[in-house]
Each structure stands twice: as C-alpha cells, then as structure tokens.
Amino acid sequence: MIMQSYEKLLSVVNNAREDIEKAGGGNRAAGTRARKHMQEVRAAAQEVRNAILAARETPPKA
C-alpha cells in the first residue's frame, strides 16, 4: 500500500513538470495548471503519510 501511494505521488509530480516549467517562463495559464498540480501533489503526499501511519499501527505479519 505504501509503495502504491508513493508511485502515485511520483506520477503526479512528473505530470506537473511541463506546466511548472512553462509557469516559470511567465505563462499564466500554465501557472494556474501548476497550482492545481501542486494541490494534487499535496493530496498524494497525504495518502503516503496515511499509508505509513496505517502500516505502523498494523502488527507485522509473522
């Protein structure tokens, strides 16, 4: 579960790259899309945190 959440986070970050580069060049529409991507990154990072906490609370399999 943790790795699946982490892979999703990486995917979201990689998808944001083009718009972030365009936003750095002054493209305002790309800036709006980049901010949306950053919200998705935030949500995906929270999923990773929750998965790690859940794994910590679950006893290890013997």
Residue of 40 and 57 predicted with greater confidence: 40
Give dist(CA 39, CA 41) in Å, integer: 5
Residue 60 confidence (pLDDT) above 80 = no
DSSP-based three-state secondary structure for 41: helix
Say what the pTM is. Answer: 0.83
Angle, alpha carbons 27-6-61 (nearest 5°): 170
Largest CA distance in the chain: 55
Mean pLDDT, range 34-55, rounded to an integer: 96
Residues 6-36: tens digit of each pLDDT: 999 999 999 999 999 999 999 999 999 999 9
Q: What is the pLDDT of residue 62?
A: 64
